[in-house]
A and B are shown apart, each in its own frame.
Chain A
Amino acid sequence: MIDYPNCEIIRVEHLSKSFGDHQVLKDVDFVVNKGDVTCIIGSSGSGKSTLLRCINLFETPSGGQIFYHGQDVAHKKDPDLYRRNVGMVFQSFNLFNNYNVLSNCTLGLRKVLKMKKAEANERALHYLKIVGMDAYQKAKPKQLSGGQKQRVAIARALSMHPEVILFDEPTSALDPEMVGEVLSVMQDLAKSGLTMIVVTHEMNFAKNVANRVVFMDDGVILEEGTPKQIFENPKEPRTREFLGL
């Protein structure tokens, strides 16, 4: 194996995506290194979700490449193996309604990683503890609040030991009083060295937790840099406008 500089995990090159004749992503280049916490900001409709969904191969790119440890995965026939290593946390939680909290976290371990029940339970409980949801292991998703659901969804993603987790507006569907509990879990994860790509409208989170901020506008990455650069001294007028500077 070739050693990649800065322990590169994902590299997106010239990525484009069109739905019909509507081009949503235009020549996007993007690198994620190990330990990076990247926040993607930008107005709604700018293509943030589509970028994440391309990285996760939920959408087939119209052009360009996505490298995972140097291997092009963009047109993989069988993305399941790759997806084990790339977790995803959704805006609408998407917990499996037919399983309780614990089983939500063990399903992938048991059926995808073929783990023994005891081992899977142990691992899942460990991550449920980290998100503070171990006490609710027997609860069904519909019995939980939004914030609790999202914390379980994070534990479910963590249980697979992914190399990177993609978060698509993880707090946008939450009542204001629940946003904090989810962000604080995510902040802990960031501190622990987990590689994360977070699409968010929580500017304070981006400012304080990310080491890299990407501003997307109309299908392109208009500007990227450290939180300091983007929030205090953005170069592009469109970025300034978006941030209300």
Chain B
Amino acid sequence: MFETIGIIIKDYYKWILEGVGYTMLVALIGTLVGLGIGILIGVFRTMPTPKNKFLKVLKKIADVILSAYVEVFRCTPMMVQAMVIFWGFALLNDGQTLNVTVSALIIVSINTGAYMAEIVRGGIISIDQGQFEAAHAIGMSHSKTMFYVVIPQALRNILPSVSNEFVINIKDTSVLNVIGFAELFFQAKTIVKINYETFATYLLVAAIYFVLTYSITLLLRFIERKMDGKKNYKVLGSQNMDAESYAIEMGGNKND
């Protein structure tokens, strides 16, 4: 068994590495672009309703379109989405198909975007209302509040879910073999067609998927811990002011 696997590695390591490269490329970029889409949609959908009647209607329409996008992509398999988008593009362009790698990036990105939109929205609405109010109380606008206070905290909170999406994407890019994208599973299929070692080849591929996803999981957990920063802090030398000198200072302030 191990001998067979050794031979497969020796003979086909280039194909396998290529497959790993494509899988990771699409999973990583798809997750990041998907997160970007999710942030945009999440921020838009948590915006306060505009007072202006016209804007209010516009926002309603956009909300409907965005939730249609989210639900359609969440409620259909990515494999089917890949076929519809890939062949739909070909149909609209007189049989000219889109580059397979580009197609793969687009499909994984918009599929992930649909999940991320909900994850980000959940992250934003889970931030305590007090954070918004404290920011508004010092004169920050809604957009500044979102950018400097809410989104950073929401992103930190949803990081485990984002990591999870990344891991899912590493595995789920395998469905893109249906459009002929040369990711890891597709490479395995090709190898099997030549060497007929079906079990050994797929066992090897399973092991590679496991190593990829598990090491990424550990890496992301490490990053999460790093992001929380140091557990302790340094207390610097303090020089307290007494009330009296403060009163003088405030008195001076009043006149400016």
Q: Which residues of A contact B (CB under 8 A)?
A: 56, 58, 77, 79-81, 83-84, 86-88, 90, 92-98, 100, 107-108, 111-112, 129-130, 132, 134-140, 143, 153, 156-157, 160-161, 187-189, 191-194
B95 at the interface (CB under 8 A from A): no
Interchain CB contact (< 8 A) of B139 among A95, A96, A98, A108: A108
**Contacting residue for A81 out of B131, B139, B246, B253, CB 8 A:** B139
Contact string against A for B residues 101-143, beta-carbon threshold 8 Å, 1 for contact and 0 otherwise: 0000000000000000000000000001011011111111100
B137 with A191: CB separation less than 8 A: no
Contact A98:B149 (CB < 8 A) given known A58-B133, A138-B234, A156-B138? yes
CB neighbours (8 Å) of A138 from chain B are 233-234, 236
Does the CB pair B136–A134 fall under 8 Å? Answer: no
What is the bound-complex CA distance between A79 and B142, given in angstroms? 11
The listed residue (A98, A100, A143) touching B153 by CB distance below 8 A is: A98
Asked if B233 contacts A83 (CB within 8 A), the reply is no
Give the Cβ gap from A120 to chain B, nearest Cβ, in Å: 12
Of residues 229 through 251 on chain B, the ones whose CB sits less than 8 Å from some CB of chain A are: 229, 232-241, 243, 246-247, 249-251
8 contacts between A and B (CB under 8 A): A90-B130, A94-B134, A96-B134, A130-B246, A135-B238, A138-B234, A143-B232, A156-B134
Is B196 an interface residue when CB atoms closer than 8 A count as contact? no
Contact in complex: B229, A140 (CB < 8 Å): yes
Query: Are B241's CB and A87's CB within 8 A?
Result: no
Number of interface residues of B (CB under 8 A): 38
Out of A96, A132, A143, name the residue touching B135 (CB < 8 Å).
A96
Contacting pair B243 A192 (CB below 8 A): yes
B14 at the interface (CB under 8 A from A): no
- Give the residue name and chain of the A residue nearest to B239 (CB): A129
Q: Is the CB of A193 within 8 A of B236?
A: no
Which residues from chain A contact B131 at a C-beta distance below 8 Å? 94, 96-97
Point out residues on B near A: beta carbons under 8 Å: 51, 128, 130-131, 133-141, 144, 148-149, 152-153, 156, 229, 232-241, 243, 246-247, 249-251, 253-254
Q: Which of A100, A188, A193 contacts B251 (CB 8 A)?
A: A193
- Nearest opposing residue in chain B for A110, CB measure: B148
A207 to B229, CA, bound (A): 44
Which residues on the B side are within 8 Å of A96 (C-beta)?
131, 134-135, 149
Min CB distance B157 to A, Å, is 10
- Asked if A193 and B133 make an inter-chain contact with CB atoms under 8 angstroms apart, the answer reads no
In the complex with contacts A97-B131, A188-B246, A83-B241 CB distance below 8 A? no
Within the complex, the shortest CB–CB distance from A236 to chain B, in Å, comes to 33
Extra contacts, 18 of them, besides A138-B234, A157-B137 (Cβ < 8 A), are A77-B51, A79-B136, A83-B137, A86-B137, A90-B137, A92-B130, A93-B130, A94-B131, A94-B133, A95-B134, A98-B149, A107-B148, A112-B139, A139-B235, A156-B138, A161-B253, A188-B243, A192-B251
Decide: B137 and A87 in contact? CB cutoff 8 A.
yes
A90 near B133 (CB under 8 angstroms)? yes
> Which chain A residue shows the least CB distance to B231?
A143
CB pair A58 B239 closer than 8 Å: no
**Bound complex: CA of A94 vs CA of B138, how far in Å?**
12
Is B241 in contact with A129, judged by CB distance below 8 angstroms?
A: yes
A156 contacts which chain B residues (CB < 8 A)?
A: 134, 138
* Residues of chain B lying within 8 A (CB to CB) of residue A93: 130
- Provide the bound-state CA to CA distance between A97 and B128, in Å: 10
Compute how far the CA of A80 lies from the CA of B138 in the bound complex, rounded to whole angstroms. 8
Say yes or no: A56-B237 contact (C-beta < 8 A), given A77-B51, A188-B243: no
Separation of A243 and B247 alpha carbons in the complex (Å): 32
B243 touches A191 (CB 8 A): yes
Report Cα–Cα, A137/B186, bound state, in Å. 55
| Min CB gap A95→B, angstroms | 7
Q: Which residues of chain A are near B241, meaning CB under 8 Å?
A: 129-130
Q: A94-B134, A96-B135, A192-B243 are in contact. Are A143 and B128 (CB under 8 A)?
A: no
Chain B residues with CB under 8 Å of A58's CB are 133, 136
- Residue in chain A with minimal CB distance to B149: A96
Asked if B250 and A193 make an inter-chain contact with CB atoms under 8 angstroms apart, the answer reads yes
> Known contacts being A129-B239, A129-B240, A138-B233, is A88 close to B137, with CB within 8 Å?
yes
Contacts of A107 on B, CB cut-off 8 Å? 135, 138, 140, 148-149
Q: How far is the CB of A165 from chain B (nearest CB, A)?
A: 10
